[in-house]
Amino acid sequence: MSDTRSDVLVFFGATGDLAYKKIFPALQAMIKRGTLNVPVIGVAKAGWDLEQLQARAADSLKQHGGIDMAAFGKLKELLRYIDGDYSDANTFAALKEAIGSAQRPAHYLAIPPVLFGAVVKHLSEAGCASAGARVVVEKPFGRDLASARALNRTLLEIFDETHIFRIDHYLGKGPVHNMLFYRFTNPMHEAIWSRQYIESIQITMAEDFGVQGRGAFYDQVGTLRDVIQNHLFQVLSNLAMEPPPRSDSESMRDEKVKVLKSIPALEARDVVRGQFRGYREEPGVARDSQVETFARLQLAVNSWRWQGVPFFIRAGKSLPVTCTEVVARLRKPPHVLYGEPRSNYLRFRISPASEIAFGLNIMDQQETGTGDTVELLASRHAGANERDAYERVLHDAMEGDRTLFAREDYVEEAWRIVEPVLGASTPLFLYDPGTWGPSGIEQVVPRGGWSDPQ
């Protein structure tokens, strides 16, 4: 084992929903690939024993991808369990004993952020936060700039920034991860990837379903906090960043922070918030809720490469399709010979399939000179055998690779941008389920309109 790799994985929240849906399948996948062979210590307060946790893991795998008997057998051997309250020092004394002689534990907090402070304090007091220890935390990283700073102070009291891994699992998705590879290995693309040729960039994250019984949670969050401030800002950073001078994690993260630093804070005119009709009837949702289930916004990236190019982001629930994609429209060529041709475009689809495509103009069959747009599909795959996002980020955290994790300054810059338009500071417009958000609102509309995923 390398002197940087974690020699034990501790995960708090072992009996929770996230562990059931994502963590156990990721652990089995890591074992199958040969990247996990250290003890895995689950911690929770459920009144369970190890056998019950193993049964929960088995059920999780049956429901989410299936059991590989050899890998699951290995997982059962590695799995440990400590049942106890997160506020009880005895829980952490038992954890310290279970960790034993391990020098580099990775403590994964798959628990609500409100519990982070108590847990990291107890880890320190029990001697579980040694110099080689890491802490891996789930989003949300606060609700606004002030709470994000407070959360960072809490973590930094015990752990050095280089040992804090803030998970945004979206960065672990293959198509998002590979976006930089595509950009920086294809000079043909990078030659046009600037304000000289790009007119606008759109990012759409659409879901054709509502809150799916999670109304009480969603009504405390909303679209801006749930997916835009984190997931879609990460996509934007990958699109707008400069090539780093080196391939190490800090050089990569430096360039992403520079992108956010170049974005002015949003104003009311930059945002349209919507709420689908029927949302307030969902269980757990306030009858007078002002929480948005849809938002579209316009950002400026005031860097040398992008100044003057508007970036548009749109995300929401109960929209016509479930799809996430990026469309970059190129500036139109001079209309000297053939009237006014349509814009070329480049399209990255992130989900449900991964696609890269180019929109090009050809002569129409009637040769009227108006032309047709055809799409050249450069790459398409459905993601078979691809590493799951959680498998990727957990593996990287245990290896000590921070590239796919948000740094303190990045988190705080993201909150700085959206903070002026959080909550009910801007109007809320109703929209019908199955539509593309509020209609008749002229704010935040790209030149030529939005490109709706097909």
The total number of residues shown for the chain amounts to: 454
The most distant pair of C-alpha atoms in the chain lies apart, rounded to whole Å, by: 80
pLDDT tens for each residue of 44-91: 999 999 999 999 999 999 999 999 999 999 999 999 999 999 999 999
64 flagged as catalytic: no
Which residue out of 107, 122, 169, 231 is catalytically annotated? 231
pLDDT value at position 25?
97
Cis peptide before 333 (omega within 30 of 0): no
CA distances from 134 to 105, 106, 399 (A): 6, 5, 11
pLDDT value at position 373?
86
pLDDT value at position 1?
47
Q: Which residues of the chain, if any, have pLDDT below 50?
A: 1, 384
pLDDT tens for each residue of 177-230: 888 999 999 999 999 999 999 999 999 999 999 999 899 999 999 999 999 999
DSSP per residue, 2-46: -SSS-SEEEEE-TTSHHIIIIIHHHHHHHHHTT---S-EEEEE-S
pLDDT value at position 116?
92
CA distances from 418 to 72, 143, 172, 297, 422 (A): 43, 11, 23, 10, 6
Q: Report which DSSP code applies to 229.
A: I
CA distances from 344 to 185, 199, 240, 321, 421 (A): 21, 10, 19, 24, 33
pLDDT value at position 265?
98
CA 350, CA 324: separation in Å to the nearest integer? Answer: 5
pLDDT value at position 386?
61
Query: Which residues neighbour 337 within 8 Å (Cβ) at sequence distance 6 or greater?
Result: none
pLDDT value at position 202?
98
CA 428, CA 316: separation in Å to the nearest integer? Answer: 13
Q: What is the CA radius of gyration of the chain?
A: 24
CA 233, CA 261: separation in Å to the nearest integer? Answer: 12
Residue 259 tokens read as 């992108």
